[in-house]
Amino acid sequence: MLILAALKIILLAVSITAALVWVVLAIRKARTNTRKWNKAEPGIIREIETVTGQQVECKLKLNASRTADFTANRVFWIWLACTRDHLVLVHPDQVGDTGSAHLFVTSRKDASVRLLEKRFAELEIQAPDAGEAVKLVVLVRPCDYEMLTNYLNG
């Protein structure tokens, strides 16, 4: 009986240690990505202003998913930059070491957002080459949703 109790305690200690190691590694990876993004963001803003010929008026960093399923394996960050006539989408995890990134630039009239639930909205962006529309489900705060709808509708 005593051996069984000791075995349970050892297994519990190993499980707690593994969970703590996983949390520490996840936080470390997030910090590294944030530092990398903060370093690259000014260069990307300059690139956006060069491509569109307009100043960046606002920017948002949001959690997104291709479906309404927001499990850990399907969630990724997107960064939206708004100019007077354009909406630019950047995937922060795909920023290169040089600070360059693939910019998805579309006209403001070719983008729309609609509320799905209290905190979820569907962002639809028409590809500039008249291809298929990109639909993303984004996690938004009420103020982010209001800002997006004001920007895209007005």
Residue ranges per structural domain of the chain: 2-153
With tokens 């298929």, the residue in question is 132
Within 10 angstroms of residue 11's Cβ, the number of other Cβ atoms is 10
Assigned CATH for 2-153:
2.30.29.30
What pLDDT was estimated at residue 34? 76
Nearest to 78 by CA among 68, 64, 67, 59: 64
Contact 91, 110 (CB under 8 A): no
What pLDDT was estimated at residue 16? 95
The 10s digit of each residue's pLDDT in 105-117 is: 888 888 888 888 8
Average pLDDT score, the chain: 82
3-state SS, residue 152: helix
Q: For the chain, report the end-to-end CA distance as a whole number of angstroms.
A: 72
pLDDT-derived band of residue 28, with 50, 70 and 90 as boundaries?
A: confident
d(CA 138, CA 140): 6
pLDDT-derived band of residue 101, with 50, 70 and 90 as boundaries?
A: low
The 10s digit of each residue's pLDDT in 46-79 is: 888 888 899 998 888 888 877 776 666 677 788 8
Answer with the residue of higher pLDDT: 51 or 127.
51
The 10s digit of each residue's pLDDT in 37-49 is: 778 888 888 888 8
Answer with the residue of higher pLDDT: 28 or 65.
28
Nearest to 104 by CA among 149, 153, 144, 44: 44
Contact 138, 75 (CB under 8 A): no
